[in-house]
Amino acid sequence: MTDLDALVVTAQADFSAAPTPAELENAKARYLGKAGRLTELLKGLGALSHDEKKTRGAEINQAKQRIDAALTARRQAMADAELDAQLRAEALDVTLPGRQRGIGGLHPVSRTMERIEAIFGSMGFDVAEGPEIETDWMSFTALNNPENHPARSMQDTFYVDMKDEAGHWLNLRPHTSPMQVRYARAHAAKHADLIAGGGVMPEIRVIAPGRTYRIDSDATHSPMFHQCEGLWIGENVSFKDLKVVFTDFCRKFFESDDLQLRFRPSFFPFTEPSAEIDIAFASGPLKGQWLEVAGSGQVHPTVVRNYGLDPERHIGFAFGMGPDRLTMLRYGVNDLRLFFDGDLRFLQQFR
């Protein structure tokens, strides 16, 4: 082996042994740098004769090319290894099962709302929504609530320190009953020509579920709660229809055909006669106990007039129930506040 061959072999071994790119560059300098071994050999050419210079120069150049090639190969190998390692580190295991998002569920009160809408929907009731910020005219006056009625009081009602364009004070609606007036007035306006011409107006059959507000807070009262209003007005709608419809609703809602209903005489300014509706289960922990679930009654003539309709021709009934309470009864929940605390341990039970 010539001295040059030996040099190439050592260089190759040196390059292969270099563990990092930096050390490879150091190794390169040992051969090809300014004071490198190959460089030194080239410098030594000056002392040779013309012919010797030619052969020796060519040999050294050849050795240089082989060392260069070894260097390039080692650099490439290092780059490949680095890329490999990086790819391996960033590798995605596409066979791993995906990470699931938590699956949400409907709030128990929303479930009740959906049930109410589905059951009344099947009986031909429309579903209406209305504003939660109401005028005192809609909340009280139109519903025949006298000026001094306790329901209007500051202790009961959240007032908004503002009036609408007509000068009516605004409040957070304390019940969904104003929706009777809003819906019936729109219905009467829509069919005004028909009614004026003596025609028979299509019946009003609507429920209006939504949020309501009162200054009230304990285990069975929350300042924000839910109500669902119902209204059925026609030329021939009677208290009997109310009993049929509401009995049907309760039995479907609680999935119990032997559920008992009781219409207990009561008072509401907007109905006459008025009744509180109580139910009693035929079995279960509450068996035989009368539980109040709704207020109801035949709509008062003054209210029908405020609908923009003639109380001599258009009669019917209204009712208002509490979906929160229905939910408590259906699922056996004993504290209303659980519905609004947002505690997942409670809510997850309804998924």
Name the site residues for ligand DAH (rule: CB under 6 A).
175, 177, 229, 268, 271, 295-297, 318-320
Minimum CB distance to ligand DAH smaller for 209 or for 297: 297
- Tokens at residue 81, please? 């290894």
- Name the one residue in this structure whose structure tokens are 């790819």: 87
Closest separation between CB of residue 295 and ligand DAH, Å?
3
CB 341 within 8 A of CB 222: no
Q: For the chain, give percent helix, strand, coil, nearest 5.
A: 45, 20, 35
CB of 121 vs ligand DAH, minimal distance in Å = 19
Residue 312 buriedness (CB in 10 A; 0-12 / 13-18 / 19+): exposed
Between 183 and 319, name the residue whose CB sits nearer to ligand DAH: 319
CB 159 within 8 A of CB 199: no
**Complex with ligand DAH: residue 144 or 296, whichever CB lies closer:** 296
**In whole angstroms, how close is the CB of 197 to ligand DAH at the nearest point?**
30
* Cα distance from N-terminal residue to C-terminal residue, the chain: 83
DSSP string across 225-283: EEEEEEEEEESS--HHHHHHHHHHHHHHHTT-TT-EEEEEEEEETTEEEEEEEEEE-SS
Q: At closest approach, how far in Å is the CB of 231 from ligand DAH?
A: 7
Q: Is 199 helix (H, G, I), strand (E, B) or coil?
A: coil
- Cα 293 to Cα 334: distance, rounded to the nearest angstrom: 15
Tell the smallest beta-carbon distance from residue 175 to ligand DAH (Å): 3
Nearer residue to ligand DAH within complex by CB, 115 or 175: 175
Q: Considering the complex, what minimum distance in angstroms separates the CB of residue 268 from ligand DAH?
A: 4
Closer by beta carbon to ligand DAH, 64 or else 173: 173
Q: Residue 338 Cβ, how far from ligand DAH at the closest point, in Å?
A: 22
Name the residue nearer to ligand DAH (CB basis): 210 or 320.
320
d(Cα 179, Cα 209) in Å, to the nearest integer? 9
Which of 31/319 has CB closer to ligand DAH? 319
